[in-house]
């Protein structure tokens, strides 16, 4: 397969240009110091691992429908991707623009309300609707006016069910909408802002969005050095990136939202009931945030069918999982080809899908980005 280096470099460069900012001041949480995070427990045997697809373009999000259809996003870098949102054929590995070419044909200067500028993340909800988060960001210039949005599609006929646009009050100029979760039971979307540090709460009935926890340390970078393959992750100017609230996941019972800044080691959670209460101030919300564990650097996070929280562990080239009740952290899979694991998704039969985007690599771009699948093993063995 011929890999075009410029395509891979453009997305990495664009992401790094947006990875600025500093730790904001705010209330502190019990145990939020710098204690080391626990080592993951090794597995007794390798989990079966299969390569599903590979691409010259850097993909980010991945989602699976109830029927097993696979959808991926290709965030915009310095150059536009072939398609921002695509459906992946799991047999051939080929991608097709979704829902059509028009939604994927935005160019600078055009209205952005009904086209993707930078499709960052994709999810399929419990009712089998497809949702896509458009961060609306460019490599230079930040957020495009009128571009940030959450879009809901009907998978039966590819029609748009609703577009939720975000104004400057919800998505300021230096924001970078990163990931999201949909709760059908409460008609709420939870969205992370990795650019400035915040969580957006979107009421899916009214369409109103609120920014919360902006001044809370839990949504901000800890300024840690991210080391992959023995080398620090750096911006083009040689500085270390600061990437704030990134991965997030709703607990199986819907009571908690777990979240993790990318350049940080701490995993936090907050009651979803509190987040949905618009009458609470940020000071009130700050008091309900809990430090769960210090897990190391993580990108995407996701609860599995076993009730455990899975992490895309960037530095370990591994998928880790945490028992949030016991605090035990273990390795679900590890492989040297896991070059910057980005997003995770489970199929209905319990198979785990993971994308790699190689954000840390700025070389010749001859190695493709990949999607792997595996069936996580049932248990791990403690270290001796």
The predicted structure's pLDDT at residue 307: 97
The predicted structure's pLDDT at residue 306: 96
Q: Tokens 């998505």 — which residue?
A: 171
* Three-state secondary structure call for residue 309: strand
Question: Any long-range contacts for 206-212 (C-beta under 8 Å, 24+ apart)?
Answer: 207/164, 209/164, 209/166, 209/170, 210/170, 210/278, 211/169, 211/170, 212/275, 212/282, 212/285
The predicted structure's pLDDT at residue 339: 94
The predicted structure's pLDDT at residue 365: 57
Q: Using CA atoms, how far apart are residues 229 and 70, in angstroms rounded to an integer?
A: 30
The predicted structure's pLDDT at residue 71: 98
Mean pLDDT by 10 residues, the chain (384 residues): 42 53 40 42 62 93 97 88 95 95 95 96 96 92 93 97 97 96 97 98 98 98 97 92 97 98 98 98 96 97 97 97 96 95 96 94 72 86 33
- Of 222, 224, 226, 242, the closest CA to residue 291 belongs to 222
The predicted structure's pLDDT at residue 252: 97
Alpha-carbon distance values, 270 to 33, 121, 289, 362 (Å): 18, 22, 5, 36
The predicted structure's pLDDT at residue 7: 44
The predicted structure's pLDDT at residue 96: 97
The predicted structure's pLDDT at residue 367: 78
The predicted structure's pLDDT at residue 212: 98
* Three-state secondary structure call for residue 176: coil
The predicted structure's pLDDT at residue 42: 52
Q: Using CA atoms, how far apart are residues 3 and 68, in angstroms rounded to an integer?
A: 28
Q: Using CA atoms, how far apart are residues 160 and 331, in angstroms rounded to an integer?
A: 39
Task: Work out whether the CA dihedral 376, 378, 382, 384 comes out positive or negative.
Answer: negative
DSSP H helical segments within the chain, as ranges? 5-17, 272-275, 282-286
The predicted structure's pLDDT at residue 39: 52
The predicted structure's pLDDT at residue 362: 61
Q: Which residues pair with 181 in a beta bridge?
A: 190
**Domains in the chain, ordered, with CATH?**
5-25+59-370 (2.120.10.30)
Alpha-carbon distance values, 102 to 76, 153, 181, 242, 364 (Å): 16, 15, 26, 34, 32
Q: Using CA atoms, how far apart are residues 223 and 22, in angstroms rounded to an integer?
A: 8
**Contact present, 53 and 1 (Cβ < 8 Å):** no
The predicted structure's pLDDT at residue 23: 32
């Amino acid at each position: 397969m011929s890999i075009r280096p410029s395509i891979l470099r453009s997305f990495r460069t664009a992401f790094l240009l947006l990875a600025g900012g500093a730790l904001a001041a705010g209330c502190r949480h019990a145990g939020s110091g710098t204690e080391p995070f626990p080592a993951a427990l090794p597995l007794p045997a390798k989990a079966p691992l299969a390569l599903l697809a590979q691409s010259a373009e850097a993909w980010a999000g991945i989602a699976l429908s109830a029927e097993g259809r696979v959808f991926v996003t290709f965030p915009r870098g310095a150059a536009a991707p072939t398609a921002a949102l695509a459906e992946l054929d799991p047999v051939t590995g080929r991608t097709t623009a979704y829902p059509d070419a028009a939604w994927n044909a935005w160019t600078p200067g055009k209205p952005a309300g009904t086209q993707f500028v930078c499709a960052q993340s994709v999810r399929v909800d419990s009712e089998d609707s497809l949702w896509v988060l458009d961060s609306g960001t460019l490599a230079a210039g930040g957020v495009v006016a009128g571009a940030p949005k959450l879009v809901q599609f009907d998978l039966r006929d590819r029609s748009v069910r609703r577009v939720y646009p975000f104004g400057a009050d919800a998505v300021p100029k230096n924001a970078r909408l990163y990931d999201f979760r949909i709760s059908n039971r409460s008609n709420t979307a939870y969205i992370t802002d990795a650019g400035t540090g915040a969580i957006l709460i979107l009421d899916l009935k009214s369409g109103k969005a609120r920014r919360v926890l902006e001044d809370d340390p839990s949504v901000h970078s800890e300024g840690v050095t991210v080391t992959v393959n023995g080398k620090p992750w750096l911006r083009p100017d040689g500085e270390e990136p600061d990437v704030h609230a990134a991965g997030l996941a709703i607990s199986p019972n819907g009571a908690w939202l777990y979240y993790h800044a990318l350049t940080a080691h701490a995993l936090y959670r907050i009651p979803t009931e509190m987040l949905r209460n618009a009458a609470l101030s940020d000071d009130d919300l700050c008091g309900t945030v809990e430090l769960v564990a210090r897990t190391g650097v993580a990108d995407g996070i996701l609860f599995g069918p076993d009730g455990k929280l899975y992490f895309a562990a960037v530095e370990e080239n591994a998928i880790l999982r945490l028992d949030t009740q016991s605090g035990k952290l273990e390795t679900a899979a590890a492989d040297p080809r896991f070059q910057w694991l980005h997003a995770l998704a489970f199929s209905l039969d319990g198979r785990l899908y993971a994308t790699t985007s190689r954000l840390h690599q700025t070389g010749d771009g001859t190695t493709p980005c990949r999607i792997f699948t595996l069936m996580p093993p049932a248990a791990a063995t403690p270290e001796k």
